[in-house]
Amino acid sequence: MALSFLMLMRTREPLLPHTTPPHHKKAEPFALVILDPGHGGQDSGAMAGNVLEKDLTFDVAQRVDRLLGGQGISTLLTRTGDSYVSLSERAQLINRANNAIVVSIHFDDGPRPDVSGIETYFAAQQATGVATIASWLPFLQKIANNQPNVESQSLAQFIQQQLVAHTQAVNRGTKAEQFYVLANVRHPAVLVEAGFLTNKNEIGKLADANYREQLAVAISDGILKYRETIKASGDDLDGASP
């Protein structure tokens, strides 16, 4: 996994149409983690009795926020309380930030009560650094669409791996999906669906603060491992260049 990731990182660089900041040894791969707790306010998301998705997402986001803060990593939440923030407002807030990565947190609604587990999404095509131009310039849009979304896919894999390792939940894998907040932001972005509110067993686990803490530790660890891997590949690239 790590090796194929590094190879993708190598092949991607020359393909970028817009310039990435020049490599500095040991440069931080990102300066900010934006945590996006799903739903809020009048939008409760999935529900199981009095267990509401919007409360779970906010609780887990706050836990991740605390854990990353403890590692000296800057964070930003797309909502700071039980308030309604539209998807486009979230994307705009995210796109105003520089050098960030994004983790959107959700819980799922299954088609059947026996469906359970955790999955992490990334967008196969994402807005580029010139999102506002790309939206009306077909040429740039085409280039953007041809870019494999390596960073987001890798971030999804690191986080998914940690989530499954920490919780022993059913591994539903990483999946490509054009969710609004993933597709319309210019930073590496993933969306975690950390359990089903239609599954009795998972509702029981999610009601337990210790389990939610484990989810948060897993998301935080996934972010840290993603950062370590990019840092290592950056050093490697610097050393290898003629």
Query: CA–CA separation, 76 vs 100, rounded Å?
Result: 10
Residue with the shortest CB distance to Zn ion? 106
**How many residues lie near Zn ion (CB under 5 A)?**
3
Complex with Zn ion: residue 55 or 221, whichever CB lies closer: 55
Answer for the pair 118, 160: CB distance below 8 angstroms, yes or no.
Answer: yes
Query: CA–CA separation, 191 vs 214, rounded Å?
Result: 17
Complex with Zn ion: residue 106 or 187, whichever CB lies closer: 106
Phi, psi of 38 (to 5 degrees): -65, 150
Closest approach of Cβ 106 to Zn ion, in Å? 3
For residue 79, give the nearest of 100, 98, 65 by alpha carbon.
65
Complex with Zn ion: residue 68 or 192, whichever CB lies closer: 192
Complex with Zn ion: residue 38 or 195, whichever CB lies closer: 38
Query: CA–CA separation, 20 vs 98, rounded Å?
Result: 12
Strands (E), the chain: 32-37, 47-48, 51-52, 75-77, 100-108, 118-122, 171-176, 189-196
Out of 54, 63, 79, 106, name the contact with Zn ion by CB under 5 A: 106
Closest approach of Cβ 185 to Zn ion, in Å? 17
> Taking CB under 5 A as the rule, does residue 79 contact Zn ion?
no
Site string for Zn ion, 22-51 (x = CB under 5 A): ----------------x------x------
Complex with Zn ion: residue 48 or 230, whichever CB lies closer: 48
Query: CA–CA separation, 38 vs 107, rounded Å?
Result: 8
Closest approach of Cβ 121 to Zn ion, in Å? 11
| Residues binding Zn ion (CB under 5 A) | 38, 45, 106
